[in-house]
Amino acid sequence: MKLDIGSLLRGETDVIEFEFDLAAEAMGDVEFSKDAHVVGKVTDNGGYIQLHLNAEVPFITQCARCMDEVRDVFKTEMTLTVAAEGTVSDEELEENMDEYAIVTNGCIDIDEQVREALILDFPMRFLCSEDCPGLCPICGKKKADGDCGCSDKKEVDPRLAVLQSIIDQLDE
C-alpha cells in the first residue's frame, strides 16, 4: 500500500490513520494462515513526522524440539521517522535503514516497511511450550509422552571414544 501523506505535508492535517491487510510471503517452514493485518498512523509533531504501525499475522509451524504443530499469532510494532527523498544521506540511510520511511512523490510505501519488519523480527524457531522436553535422541519418541525405555546413559560419539577411555582411566 502506498500511503499518500500529501495532506499531512501541506499542513492540512496532523494525523493520517490507515488499516489494511498484506499478503505474507512464505518464510522457511512457516505457513501463514491469513494475511498480515496492519494498523497504524502517520503523525506530524511540529515538522517531525513519524510513522507508527502494528502488524500481526497468524502462522503455523513446527516446534523446534518435539516437531508438534505450533499455531500462534506473530505481532510486531515499529516507529519510523518520515523523511523526504534526498534529505537523508545514502550513508546515513544505509546505517539506519530500519529507522526511516522515505517519502517519494508524497507517498510512503508501507508494504515494504511491513515486509522488512516481519522478516527481521520474526523468530528463527518456535516451541510448543517453554518447558518442551523434546524427543529422545535414541528412539525419537516425544519425551512428553512418558518414558520410552531407552537407556539414560549417553552414548559416546565414536570419534571421541579414545578421549572417553582416557577419562575413565583417570577416574580409576
Sign of the torsion angle spanned by Cα atoms 143, 146, 148, 153: positive
Return the C-alpha cell found at 67: 516437531
Estimate the share of the chain in helix, then strand, then coil, as percent rounded to the nearest 5: 25, 40, 35
Return the C-alpha cell found at 24: 505474507
The predicted model scores a pTM of: 0.72
What is the CB neighbour count within 10 angstroms for residue 3?
Answer: 21
How far, in Å, CA of 101 to CA of 110, rounded?
8
Cα dihedral value 56, 17, 52, 5, nearest 10: 130
One digit per residue, pLDDT tens: the chain, 172 residues? 888 888 888 888 899 999 999 998 878 889 998 999 999 999 988 878 899 999 999 999 999 999 999 999 999 999 988 887 767 666 665 666 667 787 888 888 888 888 888 888 888 889 999 999 999 888 888 888 888 877 656 666 788 888 888 988 988 7
